[in-house]
Amino acid sequence: MMGKVHMLPGTTFSNIADKGDYDPEKHACMTLPELETWLALGIDVYHQSIHSALGMSPLAAWESGILGSGGVLGRGLPARIADPEHFLIDFLPFKRHAVTKEGVLLNHIHYWADTIRPLINDGGSYIVRYDPRDLSRVWLLTDSGIYYALVYKARHRPPISLWEHNAVLSELRAEGRRHIDEASIFDRIEKMRAIVDEAAAATKTARRQAERRRTSSPDGAQRVATQSPIPEPAKPDATPRRIPKPFDVEEW
């Protein structure tokens, strides 16, 4: 799978020697969710492809070992995961933190839930897991093995990713900010998002205006008419055809 990953545009390769002069940032074209989907589909293809050492697909080999084959008993189906969400959370990255009267402070952000009141200033250091794609919620693991879901203490704040958080943190530090708090991080993120939204809206509007100018000009009208000719009326015994009509399109 990693061999296939390194064939994707934007790969960083395995080391600097392999990377050479290739610029991953310039060629990268997939978002993280798109990469996750691509990877899941690639794993599915692997499971159903013939494996040279097995002489069959990995999926067929797994089914043979689980269900049995050729008179050989299988080991049986594995136990079902009782709590899928708990299972997923177990794989998330974590940090250890104490619980104070302000809640849990993680990545300069305060989190809270009423369930953690008994843990305030109890001297414990608890595992707090977080999803790098969405920092609006974290999970505190208690000594009894139960996860408590915590949310922003300031609930009006928007979900952010760890990438956004770290980018803002680097900017604020580069500006010489000695004290960086939750308010300054979210204030900068909101400003950055506003710039992106305005730029996206301006670009979309510019494309639409350019298209209107092209289609409203004599040359543009002639081009539309040429691209979408109205066919001659069908004969009575011929199969009726749908008459295409001109429509606005975006040209790239």
pLDDT by residue (tens digit) across 85-130?
999 999 999 999 999 999 999 999 999 999 999 999 999 999 999 9
- Residue at a domain's end among 50, 73, 96: 73
Instruction: Please report whether residue 246 resides in a domain.
Output: no
| Angle of the 182-216 helix axis to the 218-227 helix axis, nearest 10 | 80
What is the arithmetic mean of pLDDT over 138-145? Answer: 95
- Residue 66 pLDDT > 90: yes
Instruction: Please report whether residue 237 resides in a domain.
Output: no
What is the pLDDT, as a whole number, of residue 234?
Answer: 53
Average pLDDT value for the chain: 83
pTM: 0.64
What is the percent of the chain with per-residue pLDDT over 70, rounded to a whole number?
Answer: 82
Instruction: Please report whether residue 227 resides in a domain.
Output: no
CA distance 25 to 4: 18
Report long-range pairs for 96-101 (Cβ below 8 Å, ≥24 apart). Answer: 96/125, 96/126, 96/127, 96/128, 97/125, 97/126, 97/128, 98/123, 98/124, 98/125, 98/126, 99/124, 99/126, 99/140
Domain range for 184 is 165-216
**126 and 182, same domain (yes or no):** no
Residues 6 or more apart in contact with residue 198 via CB below 8 angstroms: none
Instruction: Please report whether residue 245 resides in a domain.
Output: no
What is the pLDDT, as a whole number, of residue 138?
Answer: 97
Instruction: Please report whether residue 36 resides in a domain.
Output: yes
- Residue 243 pLDDT > 90: no
**46 and 104, same domain (yes or no):** no
**143 and 90, same domain (yes or no):** yes
What is the arithmetic mean of pLDDT over 162-178? Answer: 89
Instruction: Please report whether residue 40 resides in a domain.
Output: yes
Per residue in 20-56, pLDDT (tens digit) is: 788 878 878 888 888 889 999 999 999 999 999 999 9
- Residue at a domain's end among 15, 40, 73: 73
What is the arithmetic mean of pLDDT over 193-218? Answer: 73
**118 and 143, same domain (yes or no):** yes
**65 and 95, same domain (yes or no):** no
Instruction: Please report whether residue 244 resides in a domain.
Output: no
**124 and 174, same domain (yes or no):** no
Instruction: Please report whether residue 224 resides in a domain.
Output: no
Q: Number of structural domains, the chain?
A: 3
Per residue in 212-235, pLDDT (tens digit) is: 656 555 554 444 444 445 455 555
- Residue at a domain's end among 122, 154, 186: 154
**132 and 169, same domain (yes or no):** no
